[in-house]
Chain A
């Protein structure tokens, strides 16, 4: 009964979404205030219906209703309640419901807090959001109904995949979806603007917070996914250039470009056509990611169940939305005339450079991800594009990006002089050079990581310079600077902090370039030396957990004869799922991680394969990502977002949605 209610609510939501598409768009066309006003209540209705449907599915999971096929496939009564609940969106069907739920709530936020938006723009934005919702609801109902019944019910579910019972993984999709769906909102704004034929500062003021919120969530989502891969998969790495990872990186990169160009639209009414195009591409990349992951065209470790039928449907959606928006763009973008004019050397110019570089990196990742598939399908050639390609192709683009990123915020709008900016960056340059030589000395002349440290120090130094500059630090009294610091806009703080976060991540990447690892077969009592530590295998014991048995190794890490850590990595065997998992043991002091994994044991020799890693600055990867997202959040709390009514509320709502 509950499942049928959920199914019905979903169908109801489809009808409401369809009405939300037609009525406001028609109303905006004919300037009919009543039709336009219907958008808000329809958005409310749609949200309630989808929320009800989601709640029904969650309930089926919570009570482990084995008459529901989706629950049978993805859950099990022996799972802890937390993972039963998070299992609601841990599968293809449920995650789509979460997707449309977030989309509906975002629409609700636009409807509820967009009172100061021009009425036709608001109606059109909500209409386009309704149209996006229609497509995805149709997709769910047609190919991925989570409420399908199963009769007779099996005694219990089959979904006890132990790898997926993890809080990091449970939180990863919702964060990513908040990002993806945020780009659906900027997409709706872009399409509405194309229909209106008008992009102005007010439009930019609305788009910026949405793209900022989407970007911050996507940053957190990607970082969380990377962290999960780091500690759960037990391969010691944090980024594998896996197609599924790249699929989330693509919208992030375009979103980064969008975020910056939206500032130019807001402040200077320039780059309008470009920003609209980026907004369409950002959503297109989100959909492309969904398509790649769900259709099975990719060969990846993390992909969902593959299904060409679903792939066809998503492809149709992708072409409908993105192709349609591009057609509209080709037809209407002529009308948009930039009013703000700027010199090549200026804040705008720096942002254009940032956009070009970020888009080039996107192109590299895009081609590297898709080329093997196209080569296979078109020429029958199996090629593999691995991390060396991505690293080598993106490195020459990241270097000028980091250089420009430092200079941009120090430049005034409209027209700038390069030399004064360079002069103000001398301190950052000195710090960068110093970092380079110190790293070179300490690491035994490993050039690439040293370059990485140099740029990390440079980026952080430049962000601090920007803050010092704005607060006139060292040029006036400390109390005066303090007063200026307090008066500084949160957007300025946010930008500097986010840029510093990039520097921290760069340091983490450079540090991981110096990571050491060793794979060694050890008998109990054996010791090995790595990274200045003595690692001793004390023994391997049996261990029994609630639903698994395990072999657990005890490894003592010593330095100069003193015991520093005792690490206990294990290999678990889950008999119900017939699955092995590795439980990594990690000891961190925020500067480096010691990381140990136990592999196969050889009964004949009594030796166990042990893999140990010394991961320098690994925690900084996630700390840096968090700092970046924090910068984004701070920028969202800016006065001009809070005070100016239109932008303010969108931003405030993005968080709970």
Chain B
């Protein structure tokens, strides 16, 4: 080994560490601006419109039903939330949905594999954050969307294109770090 090669070789660890550092820096910047979300689950539907569906409303509440026609030409980004009364994480995320609702963000809901009376009791006890609400008791529409399990949340832009998908409860962190930046980003 010539001294020059040795010299270059001895620099290799630094070069690798520096490259790794730059990549991590980019990742953290992406997390700050909301462009990169390490917790997102891949979805074939990202960048596409949701599948067509018509579903019945939940009887007993005023909220109108949600169909795929309601997800086109929107005034701003919307949130579509799959939930069920039997799901514990749905209870955890509920206050965050209520907060979004109070702030005027359209939150659409689809009750997944849930008996109507149970859904109704859930909303009566805890409050109804949904601007539109349908029930998918057989869970067929959820399959078309590629739902993994409840709760699962999608964010659609004004054209009705799915931009973001999240499996799991929307905690305060998810609200602050993911949803709010995304709402800002897709507002126009």
> Contact between A329 and B28 (Cβ–Cβ < 8 Å)?
no
CB-contact partner of B36 in A281, A330, A376, under 8 A = A376
| Stretch with Cβ within 8 A of A (4 or more), from B39-47, B51-59, B67-75, B142-150 | B39-47
| Interchain pairs with CB closer than 8 A, number | 79
The A interface is mostly helix, strand or loop, or mixed, namely helix
| Chain B residues closer than 8 Å to A315, beta-carbon distance | 21, 24-25, 28
The smallest C-beta distance from A25 to any residue of chain B, in angstroms, reads: 21
> Contact between A334 and B27 (Cβ–Cβ < 8 Å)?
no
* CB nearest to B29 among chain A residues: A308
Chain A interface extent, by class:
35 or more
| Chain B residues closer than 8 Å to A308, beta-carbon distance | 28, 31-32, 177
* CB nearest to A580 among chain B residues: B88
B1-34 interface (Cβ within 8 A of A):
3, 6-7, 10-11, 13-14, 17-18, 21, 23-28, 30-32
| Chain A residues closer than 8 Å to B105, beta-carbon distance | none
The smallest C-beta distance from A306 to any residue of chain B, in angstroms, reads: 7
A407 interface contact, C-beta 8 A: no
> Contact between B17 and A319 (Cβ–Cβ < 8 Å)?
yes
B125 interface contact, C-beta 8 A: no
A367-402 interface (Cβ within 8 A of B):
373-374, 376-378, 382
A88-109 interface (Cβ within 8 A of B):
none
> Contact between B24 and A291 (Cβ–Cβ < 8 Å)?
yes
| Chain A residues closer than 8 Å to B92, beta-carbon distance | 578
> Contact between B27 and A329 (Cβ–Cβ < 8 Å)?
no
A311 interface contact, C-beta 8 A: yes
B62 interface contact, C-beta 8 A: no
Cα A305 to Cα B172 in complex, Å, equals 11
Cα A277 to Cα B39 in complex, Å, equals 34
| Chain A residues closer than 8 Å to B88, beta-carbon distance | 578-580
B148-173 interface (Cβ within 8 A of A):
173
| Chain A residues closer than 8 Å to B39, beta-carbon distance | 299
B120 interface contact, C-beta 8 A: no
Contact flags A299-311 to B (C-beta < 8 A → 1, else 0): 1000001101001
Given the interface pairs A376-B36, A376-B38, A578-B88, the reply to whether A297 lies near B17 with Cβ below 8 Å is: no
Given the interface pairs A315-B24, A323-B18, the reply to whether A296 lies near B31 with Cβ below 8 Å is: yes
> Contact between A329 and B25 (Cβ–Cβ < 8 Å)?
no
CB-contact partner of A329 in B6, B13, B18, B31, under 8 A = B13
Which B residues contact A (CB, under 8 angstroms)?
Answer: 3, 6-7, 10-11, 13-14, 17-18, 21, 23-28, 30-32, 36, 38-42, 88, 91-92, 173, 177
> Could you list 8 further interchain pairs (A-B, Cβ under 8 angstroms) beyond the known A273-B10, A318-B21, A334-B10?
A305-B173, A319-B18, A323-B21, A377-B30, A377-B36, A382-B40, A382-B42, A578-B88
Ranked 5 nearest A-B pairs via Cβ: A382-B42, A326-B14, A330-B11, A377-B27, A326-B13
**Could you list some 25 contacts between A and B, CB below 8 A?**
A273-B10, A284-B17, A297-B28, A299-B39, A306-B173, A306-B177, A311-B24, A315-B24, A315-B25, A315-B28, A322-B17, A323-B14, A323-B17, A323-B21, A326-B14, A326-B17, A330-B14, A334-B3, A374-B23, A376-B36, A376-B38, A377-B26, A377-B30, A382-B42, A578-B92
